[in-house]
Amino acid sequence: MKAAVMPGFSELIIRINPTKQVTRGGLLTIIMPWLYAPWPDAQKTGIAEMEVEGKTLRELLAKLAELYKQANVELDIINPKTNDLDADYDVLVNGKNYVALPNGLGTKLKNGDEVRLKILWRWDG
């Protein structure tokens, strides 16, 4: 599948096999430039494109982590110890948290789905 990747404020917004041209809309500011590390040229448009072998949420996230690693940015989205989402992140598919989906990370993604990978901040003291 193909995916359009748009870094947001503290998240990546990913559209799966978009049928229409993806634009940043009102989201103009780039505040975490390192999120573009795998696609440095995409900073001009604010939107990157990637191809994923496979159809599941897990495969998408694994591919993202691989691309970032190749760009020397550690984004260990899937925790190797738990084989689940790492505690630094949260994932929503069409606004629904992945834990609420029947197949969790094994959820098959459809054309037009929107995946949000949120980078979580720390609030305890």
> Mind spelling out the 3-state secondary structure of 76-112?
CCECCCCCCECCCEEEEECCEEHHHCCCHHHCECCCC
* CB of residue 55 to another protein, shortest distance in Å: 28
Beta carbon of residue 47, minimum distance to another protein (angstroms, whole number): 18
**Interacting residues with another protein (CB under 8 A):** 9-10, 28-34, 73-74, 81, 87-88, 90, 118, 120-125
For another protein, the closer of residues 73 and 101 by Cβ is: 73
Tell me which residue of 97, 121, 94, 89 sits closest to 110, measured CA to CA.
Answer: 94
Looking at the Cβ atoms of 55 and 118, the one nearer to another protein is 118
Q: How far is the CB of 27 from another protein (least distance, A)?
A: 9
Q: Which is nearer to another protein, 70 or 120 (CB)?
A: 120
